[in-house]
Structure 1
Amino acid sequence: MNGPRGGSSSLRSAFSYCVQQVRNYDYHHYLCLLELPPEMRKPAFALRAFNVETARAMDVASDPKIGLMRLLWWQEAIDKLYTKKTVNHPAAQALSWAISEHSISKPWLKRSVEARIRDAQREADDIPESVEELERYAEDTVSTLLYNTLQAGGISSTAADHAASHIGKASGLVLLLKSLPYHCTRNRHHNYIPVELAEKHGLLVKQGGRSEILLDNDSREGLCNVVFEIASVANVHLLKARELVGKVPAEAKPVLLHSVPVQVLLDSLSKAHFDVFDPRMQRGVLGVPPLWFQVRLKWYSWRSMF
Structure 2
Amino acid sequence: MNPASAHSNSIRAAFSHCVQQVRSYDYHHYFCLLHLPPNMRRAAFALRAFNVETARAMDVASDPKIGLMRLLWWKDVIDKIYANKKVEHPTAQALSSVISDHKISKHWLKRSVDARINDASREENAIPESIADLEQYAEDTTSTMLYMTLQAGGILSTTADHAASHIGKASGLLLLLKSLPYHLNRQGRISYIPADVAARHGLLITGHGRSEIKMESGEALSDVIFEIASVASVHLQKARELARAVPAEALPVLLPAVPAQVLLDTLRRRNFNVFDSRISNGVHGISPLWYQLKLKWHAWRNTY
Are residues 1:11 and 2:11 paired? Answer: yes
Equivalent in the alignment of 2:236: 238
Percent of aligned pairs sharing the same letter: 67
Kindly provide the CA deviation profile for residues 60-80 of structure 1, in whole angstroms up to 9, marking residues without a partner as x: 000000000000000010000
Kindly report which structure 2 residues correspond to 1:163-182, keeping only aligned pairs within 5 A, or say none: 163-182=163-182
Question: d(CA) in 1 for partners of 2:298 and 2:257?
Answer: 10
The one-letter code sitting in structure 1 at the alignment partner of 2:254 is: L
Match of 1:297 in 2: 295
- Return the alpha-carbon distance in structure 1 between the equivalents of residues 195 and 163 of structure 2: 28
Identify the residue that residue 112 of structure 1 maps to in structure 2. 112
- Is residue 84 of structure 1 aligned with residue 119 of structure 2? no
Sort the Cα spacing of 1:99 and 1:292 in 2 relative to 1 into closer, same or farther, 3 A: same
Check the 8 A contact 1:180/1:189 in 2, yes or no: no
Secondary structure (helix, strand or coil) at the match of 2:187 reads coil
Deviation at 1:9, TM superposition (A): 1.1
Supply the AA of the counterpart residue of 1:33.
Answer: L
Q: 1:155 aligns to what?
A: 155
The 5 A counterparts of 1:91-110 are 91-110=91-110
Matched with 1:47 is 47
Asked whether the equivalents of residues 180 and 190 of structure 2 are also in contact (C-alpha less than 8 Å), the reply is no
| Post-superposition offset of 1:187 | 2.3
Hey, what's the Cα distance between the residues in 2 that align with 1:88 and 1:266? 39
Within 1, Cα distance between the matches of 2:7 and 2:177?
40
User: Are 2:246 and 1:248 aligned?
Assistant: yes
8 Å CA contact 2:14–2:90 kept in 1: the answer is yes
Report the alpha carbon displacement of residue 128 of structure 1 after superposing the two structures with TM.
0.5
Q: From the superposition, tell whether residues 236 and 208 of structure 1 become closer, same or farther in structure 2 (CA, over 3 Å).
A: same
1:260 CA displacement: 0.3
> Deviation of residue 7 (structure 1)?
5.6
Output the CA distance in 1 between the equivalents of 2:215 and 2:246: 42
Counterpart residue number, 2:145: 145
8 Å CA contact 1:124, 1:188 repeated in 2? no
Measured in 2, the distance between the counterparts of 1:7 and 1:155 equals 29
Alpha-carbon distance change, 188 to 247 in structure 1, aligned in 2, over 3 angstroms: farther
Q: Distance in 2 between matches of 1:151 and 1:216?
A: 43
In the alignment, which residue of structure 2 is the partner of 1:121?
A: 121
Kindly provide the CA deviation profile for residues 12-49 of structure 1, in whole angstroms up to 9, marking residues without a partner as x: 11111100000000000000000001121111100000
TM-score by length of 2: 0.97
Equivalent pairs, count: 300
User: Cα RMSD (Å) of the superposition?
Assistant: 1.2
Give 3-state SS (helix, strand or coil) of 1:212's partner. Answer: strand
1:279 offset after TM fit, Å?
1.7
Secondary structure of 1:191 counterpart: coil
1: CA distance between counterparts of 2:10 and 2:108?
26
> Aligned equivalents of 1:178 and 1:91: distance in 2?
26
7 and 155 in structure 1: CA distance in 2 versus 1, 3 angstrom threshold: farther
What letter matches 2:273 in structure 1?
D
Which residue of 2 is the match for residue 261 of structure 1? Answer: 259
CA distance in 1, matches of 2:184, 2:149: 32
Residues 255 and 295, structure 2, Cα contact 8 Å, conserved in 1:
yes
Are the aligned partners of 1:49 and 1:91 in contact in 2 as well (CA < 8 Å)? Answer: yes
Q: Is the 8 Å Cα contact of residues 22 and 29 (structure 1) preserved in structure 2?
A: yes
Q: Which runs of 4+ in 1 moved over 3 A?
A: none
- Cα distance, 1:6 vs structure 2: 9.7
